[in-house]
Amino acid sequence: MATRQTASLARLMRAPAIILLLIWMVVPLGMTLYYSFLNYNLLNPAVTSWAGWFNYQYFYTDPAFLDSLWNTLVLVVGVLLITVCGGIAIAILIDKPIFGQGLVRILVISPFFVMPPVAALIWKNMIMHPSYGVFADIAKFFGTSPVDWFAQYPLFSIIIIVAWQWLPFATLILLTSLQSLDGEQMEAAEMDGAPAYSRFIHLVLPHMARAITVVILIQTIFLLSIYAEILVTTNGGPGTASTNLTYLIYRAARLNFDIGGAAAGGVIAVVLANIVAIFLMRAVGKNLD
Amino acid sequence: MARAVTRNTRIGWTIVAWAVALVIFFPILYTIITSFKSEQEAIAGFDLIPSLTLESYQTVQTQNNYFRPFMNSVILAVGSTLLALIVAIPAAWAMAFSPTRHTKNILMWMLSTKMMPAVAVLVPIYLIFLRFGLMDTRIGLTVLLMLINLPIVVWMLYTYFREIPGEILEAARMDGASLRDEILYILTPMAVPGIASTMLLNVILAWNEAFWTIQLTTTSAAPLSAFIASFSSPQGLFWAKLSAASTMAIAPILILGWFSQKQLVRGLTFGAVK
């Protein structure tokens, strides 16, 4: 009897969170899906009509859409490459017996706590600015002409900024994983004369494989939604050179007031994110039992 | 001999590690330094020793009324975190201590709501905010940020609560403890560290949120993330002023962040890396 009471109490305690999240998921997504089939522009809401698949077709045939998909892919893969490779290297470095390890750790993880607009503006104005940035100062020091990063390499510049923000995350997760590595096994391998790179390939990397997977999946979820960094640096330009899918949808919704088109883009973004999410959920789910 | 080599290697690795750390930290350090320069000094070229003027901090306050977005950030971050805790603590508690066969599915489903890209619901949320007069209000944004972070809060609390051993309750009951005693003297002290950690991480995440804050605020409810983003316009070409605003925006969260390394790993990997 007591258990039945506990069970109903537990149900009552769970209910608010579940109901809130259910509403949060079903209502906006349902609305997005509905709007995606409408001709609906906020500048002219009176002529709203059923559009069928038009918004999707429009999005699909728009060259900006394919550009944005490509840019999204380049952005995600570029940042992942830098953060995962850099993260592994830095994690191994910090894990060595160095002086001031705690402080080094603090310095390395700091960029993660810098809010995106600040991170982007610091890099835009202080580091990469063609006349006043540190890179320009370095170029002048060596007698070469400074590079106008955001005009010449817009997407690459954004990759650098985002990678700087996410490198600490990768490093911290990989370091956590590295610290649970069996020290005796490493010592044994060292005594048997296994060289450093073969210890890395056969012991360290397999041990970190799971953590690397998790880093890749979680970062991908966040990297698909990069927005503020683009807004304050390049505004998606020049042209569509640094427009990702998130930014394209933002432009359709907020600058072109094209509700139907933005909603169709939103549905596409959900599909993309879900492909990644399925793999992540599998990785996390394994750990739950 | 062997010892000297080890010591030398250690010094060698220390130098490499510090060099890497300083390069990574440099943009933040340079911003802090520039914030203490005068505007003329700031664009005069690379220079690490400022004249230590507080001029820029004063300008940001007097010209841009910095205090307002700062307070908005505090209210949004703390408010949304407290709201999330009120909803999440009972839920996580129930799932940790009276799990059913659905508990795992519920948790996974909650996680899946976190995977929804924000931009996918930009249109409906924007229209709802317009329709109900929630644009540029703190209350609308607080509720929204609460919903966004709720899955992480439930998950984190769940992993902490699960570590509280159930046997301890049985032992207390055998010793004649009442339900009130149980909650007050046994469960609460054991749950508080987990709740505090969850709170810490969530305040950081809410403070740094920069998609919805930019979309849904203009001036009166704009927190620091939206306020600083507005510096991307030409008036932002004041290096020292931008640096002062940035330094104040990141300093509190940077310090909180240094204390939250463990929570960060737990909260953002959903317990998948230990």
Domains detected in chain B: 1-65+233-261 (no CATH), 75-227 (1.10.3720.10)
CB under 8 Å to A1, separation ≥6 — which residues?
A: none
Torsion of CA B177, B179, B182, B187, to 10 degrees: 170
Q: Residue A21 domain-assigned?
A: no
Task: Indicate which CATH number applies to the domain containing A121.
Answer: 1.10.3720.10
B36 part of contact set with chain A, CB < 8 Å:
no
Of the pLDDT bands very low, low, confident and very high (cuts 50, 70, 90), residue B1 is very low
Tell me: the pLDDT tens digits for A233-249?
A: 998 878 889 999 999 99
Q: Residue A69 domain-assigned?
A: yes
- Is B37 a residue whose pLDDT tops 60? yes
As given in the structure block, the two tokens for residue A280 are 């992540």
**Residues from chain B contacting residue A177 (CB–CB below 8 Å):** 273
Q: Cβ(B249)–Cβ(B264) under 8 Å?
A: no
**Least CA distance to B246: which residue of chain A?**
A118
**Burial degree of A162 (CB within 10 A; 0-12, 13-18, 19+):** buried
Tell me: the pLDDT tens digits for B188-241?
A: 888 888 898 889 889 999 999 999 999 999 888 899 999 998 887 655 557 888
- Is A127 a residue whose pLDDT tops 60? yes
Q: Residue A3 domain-assigned?
A: no
**Residues from chain A contacting residue B159 (CB–CB below 8 Å):** none
**pTM of this prediction?**
0.89
- Is B7 a residue whose pLDDT tops 60? yes
The pLDDT mean for chain B works out to 86
> B122, A250: Cβ pair inside 8 Å?
yes
What is the largest distance, in Å, between two alpha-carbon atoms of chain A? 84
| Smallest Cα distance from A62 to chain B, Å | 19
The residue range of the domain holding A63 is: 56-285
> A172, B253: Cβ pair inside 8 Å?
no
Mean pLDDT of B79-102: 91
Give, rounded to a whole angstrom, the gap between the first and last alpha carbons of chain B. Answer: 38
Q: Residue A20 domain-assigned?
A: no
What is the largest distance, in Å, between two alpha-carbon atoms of chain B? 77
Tell me: the pLDDT tens digits for A5-25?
A: 777 888 888 899 999 999 998
Residue type, A65: F
**Residues from chain A contacting residue B3 (CB–CB below 8 Å):** none
| Smallest Cα distance from B196 to chain A, Å | 18
Tell me: the pLDDT tens digits for A205-233?
A: 888 888 898 898 889 888 999 999 999 99
Q: What is the pLDDT of residue B2?
A: 45
Tell me: the pLDDT tens digits for B106-130?
A: 988 888 888 888 898 998 999 999 9
Q: What is the pLDDT of residue B170?
A: 77
Nearest to B111 by CA among B263, B268, B261: B268
The pLDDT mean for chain A works out to 88
Q: Residue A32 domain-assigned?
A: no
Q: Residue A47 domain-assigned?
A: no
Q: Residue A24 domain-assigned?
A: no
**Least CA distance to B92: which residue of chain A?**
A14
**Residues from chain B contacting residue A29 (CB–CB below 8 Å):** 116, 120-121
Tell me: the pLDDT tens digits for A40-99?
A: 888 877 777 787 888 888 888 888 888 999 999 999 999 999 999 999 999 999 988 888
Q: How far apart are CA B130 and CA B119, in angstroms?
A: 17
> B272, A287: Cβ pair inside 8 Å?
yes
> A224, B268: Cβ pair inside 8 Å?
no
On the CB side of A117, CA atoms within 13 Å amount to 28
Peptide bond into A238 cis (omega under 30): yes
| Number of domains composing chain A | 1
- Is B26 a residue whose pLDDT tops 80? yes
Q: Residue A123 domain-assigned?
A: yes
C-alpha distances (whole Å) from A166 to each of A204, A232, B226 are 22, 18, 21
Q: Cβ(B236)–Cβ(B42) under 8 Å?
A: no
> A115, B110: Cβ pair inside 8 Å?
no
> B147, A21: Cβ pair inside 8 Å?
yes
**Residues from chain A contacting residue B271 (CB–CB below 8 Å):** 284, 287-288
**Residues from chain B contacting residue A27 (CB–CB below 8 Å):** 124
**Burial degree of B105 (CB within 10 A; 0-12, 13-18, 19+):** exposed
Mean pLDDT of B40-53: 74
As given in the structure block, the two tokens for residue A51 are 């559009």
Q: What is the pLDDT of residue B4?
A: 53
Handedness of CA B250, B252, B255, B256 (dihedral sign): negative
Q: How many CB atoms lie within 10 A of CB B92?
A: 29
